[in-house]
């Protein structure tokens, strides 16, 4: 009898989330990562779990909605198993409404959300003064407040996931390790390059992102999205600001003036940030599939090998549902939970 049922290559958000779900179902797991837990883009600063707008509904938006609804119990179970706090909080999000057309559109989306979000969250149009100095600058005096958006502290979440997998008997190998049983490849930007080389065409590309961390203690405040910046308060007295989207870059982990410009826009957009000092910066490569959806399924031409990749900007929010459908596929052979557009072959 094999000592290991499934080897997971990659200890980022997709790899460890899938390992947790399979271990929870009784599988014997080995997770291997040459660099360490959340050593790639999962170990950044932001940790936003944010929904798509409630309109023009499709399979991708529905998948993400279901995952966001699952997140509280998913991360609660991980916290209980690991005895570590992943920093999860469903704190909501604010967005400014810039003109009358935007106000009309926001109210229409609020009506759509009543049906599409199934009563599990709200998309509200409210007066900015409701949130005091935390409201992003808005020329109309109105903001969107959704109650579905949540956040994680990325590095605490990684530590909690790794400990939870080990608590269920999973093996964590940092460095070189041996594959045994079925193999799930959740290796981020490097994995997209490997898959592209194997299949003879580009299935995805790395996108560089930079983020910054400010010292500001507002742990229960909602996130905000304004002027192409995203502010995410965390539980440890910090607030993360992200991010750049760089398709062309030199050093993939170097920070530069581009993130300084993002911070400047963020501070202009939200008055409460004005005096908050920057205490850290981060840069890394995020994997984006050709379809821009997570890429989930069997590795074409490699029996017993599977792929979970391409969670560009939405990996944390998608992780609970990704873990569920990949466990169904790897352990039970069922692909019914993977929507069209998410499959590996959809990117060929």
Q: Assess if residue 125 is contained within a domain.
A: no
Instruction: Count CB neighbours of 234 within 10 A.
Output: 23
Q: Assess if residue 163 is contained within a domain.
A: yes
Per-residue pLDDT of the chain (348 residues; tens, 9 = 90+): 468 999 999 999 999 999 999 999 999 999 999 999 999 999 999 999 999 999 999 988 999 999 999 999 999 999 999 999 999 999 999 999 999 999 999 999 999 999 999 999 999 999 999 999 999 999 999 999 999 999 999 999 999 999 999 999 999 999 999 999 999 999 999 999 999 999 999 999 999 999 999 999 999 999 999 999 999 999 999 999 999 999 999 999 999 999 999 999 999 999 899 999 999 999 999 999 998 899 999 999 999 999 999 989 999 999 999 999 999 999 999 999 999 899 998 888
pLDDT at 2: 60
82: domain CATH number is 3.50.50.60
Q: Assess if residue 29 is contained within a domain.
A: yes
223: domain CATH number is 3.30.9.10
The set of long-range contacts for 230-235, using a CB threshold of 8 Å and a minimum separation of 24, is: 230/46, 230/48, 230/50, 231/266, 231/270, 231/273, 232/46, 232/47, 232/48, 232/151, 233/91, 233/151, 234/47, 234/87, 234/151, 234/153, 235/85, 235/87, 235/89, 235/153, 235/156
Assess whether 174 and 277 both reside in one domain. no
Residues 31/311, Cβ–Cβ less than 8 Å: no
Residues 268/137, Cβ–Cβ less than 8 Å: yes
Assess whether 18 and 46 both reside in one domain. yes
Q: Assess if residue 119 is contained within a domain.
A: no
Assess whether 267 and 306 both reside in one domain. no
Q: How far from 250 is each of 208, 246, 276, 314, CA to CA, in Å?
A: 10, 10, 30, 24
DSSP at 118: T
Assess whether 192 and 303 both reside in one domain. yes
Domain boundary among 289, 308, 336: 289
Q: Assess if residue 281 is contained within a domain.
A: yes
Domain that holds residue 332: 6-88+150-201+290-347
Domain boundary among 244, 273, 289: 289
Domain boundary among 289, 304, 327: 289
Q: Assess if residue 131 is contained within a domain.
A: no
Cα 14–chain centre separation: 9
Residue whose pair of structure tokens reads 């581009």 in the numeric block: 258
Assess whether 83 and 191 both reside in one domain. yes
Q: Assess if residue 265 is contained within a domain.
A: yes
Alpha helices in 25-99 (DSSP H): 59-82
Assess whether 168 and 268 both reside in one domain. no
pLDDT at 144: 98
pLDDT at 1: 40
Angle between helices 59-82 and 154-167 (to 10 degrees): 70
Assess whether 213 and 241 both reside in one domain. yes
Assess whether 154 and 83 both reside in one domain. yes
Residues 149/93, Cβ–Cβ less than 8 Å: yes
pTM of the model: 0.96
Q: Assess if residue 33 is contained within a domain.
A: yes
Assess whether 41 and 60 both reside in one domain. yes
Residues 22, 82: Cα–Cα separation, whole Å = 16
Before 307, cis peptide (omega within 30)?
A: no
In this structure, the chain runs to a length of 348
Assess whether 50 and 165 both reside in one domain. yes
The domain total for the chain is 2
Q: Which residue spans within the chain are E strands per DSSP? A: 6-9, 29-33, 48-49, 93-96, 123-127, 142-146, 150-151, 171-174, 182-185, 204-215, 223-226, 229-233, 238-242, 278-289, 295-298, 305-309
Assess whether 161 and 271 both reside in one domain. no
Assess whether 84 and 191 both reside in one domain. yes
Instruction: Count CB neighbours of 65 within 10 A.
Output: 23
């Amino acid at each position: 009898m094999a000592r290991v049922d499934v080897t997971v290559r990659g200890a980022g958000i997709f790899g460890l989330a899938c390992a947790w779900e399979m271990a929870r179902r009784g599988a014997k797991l080995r997770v291997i990562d040459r660099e360490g837990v959340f050593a790639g883009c999962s170990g950044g600063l932001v940790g936003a779990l944010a929904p798509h707008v409630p309109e023009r509904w499709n399979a991708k938006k529905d998948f993400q909605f279901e995952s966001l609804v699952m997140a509280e119990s998913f991360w609660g179970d991980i916290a209980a198993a690991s005895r570590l706090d992943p920093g999860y909080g469903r704190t909501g999000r604010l967005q400014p409404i810039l003109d009358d057309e935007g106000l009309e559109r926001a109210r229409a989306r609020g009506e759509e959300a009543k049906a599409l979000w199934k009563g599990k969250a709200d998309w509200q149009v409210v007066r900015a003064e409701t949130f005091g100095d935390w409201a992003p600058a808005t020329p109309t005096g109105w903001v969107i407040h959704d109650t579905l958006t949540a956040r994680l502290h990325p590095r605490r979440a990684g530590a909690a996931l790794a400990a939870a997998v080990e608590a269920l008997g999973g093996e964590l190998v940092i460095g070189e390790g041996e594959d045994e049983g079925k193999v799930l490849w959740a290796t981020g930007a490097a994995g997209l390059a490997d898959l592209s080389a194997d299949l003879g065409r580009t299935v995805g590309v790395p996108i560089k992102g930079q983020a910054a961390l400010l010292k500001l203690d507002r742990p229960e405040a909602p996130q905000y999205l304004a002027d192409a910046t995203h502010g995410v308060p965390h539980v440890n007295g910090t607030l993360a600001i992200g991010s750049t989207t760089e398709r062309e870059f030199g050093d993939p982990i170097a920070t530069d003036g581009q993130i300084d410009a993002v911070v400047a826009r963020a501070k202009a957009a939200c008055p409460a940030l004005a005096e908050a000092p920057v205490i850290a910066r981060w840069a890394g490569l995020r994997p984006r599939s050709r379809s821009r959806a997570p890429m989930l399924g069997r590795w074409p031409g490699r029996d017993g090998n599977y792929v979970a990749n391409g969670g560009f900007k939405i990996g944390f929010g998608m992780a609970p549902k990704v873990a569920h459908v990949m466990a169904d596929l790897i352990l039970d052979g069922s692909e019914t939970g993977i929507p069209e557009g998410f499959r590996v072959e959809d990117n060929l």
